[in-house]
Amino acid sequence: MITLKLNGQDHQLDVTEDMPLLWAIRDVAGYNGTKFGCGMGLCGACTIHIDGAPARSCITPIGSVIGQNVSTIDNLHSDPVGQVVQQAWLDTAVAQCGYCQGGQIMSATALLKTNPNPSDAQIEEAMVGNICRCGTYNRIKTAIRQAATHLQGTKA
């Protein structure tokens, strides 16, 4: 049994330490918001936060996150920055097919938590590992800028 601190709760999971975190989250713990994309950490669809930093859950063994806080898109509504990012996504109608958007939102949220006023270059750098097959990159950048503006306004 492995204890995984997932979305603010301890979960006892009967898995091996080498199981990819993605499958432990989806198939064992039952949080299905995190998506399988490529299985090689290249597309970003499976992005989660480990102690606040974005990570690819498809290539992260569960044993490597024991004792750390793992957060998924399923619980992002409880995060104030995550709420702002999700609202910006809706306001700017980012999603087309939507498959990659959970990973996109998780990466954007991690960026804005560490840099609430990123430049375009910083946005592009933070989002470079997230692929959108529908090509909504301009809307993604617009949503991140909108969320940053909102976050700046709430701090003033």
pLDDT tens digit string along 102-123?
999 999 999 999 999 999 999 9
Using only C-alpha atoms, the chain has a radius of gyration, in whole angstroms, of 15
pLDDT beyond 60 at 156: no
Check: CB of residue 57 under 8 Å from CB of residue 39: no
Q: What is the mean pLDDT of the chain?
A: 95
| Domains observed in the chain | 2-75 (3.10.20.30), 79-154 (1.10.150.120)
pTM for the whole structure: 0.94
Specify the pairing of strand 9-13 against strand 2-6.
antiparallel
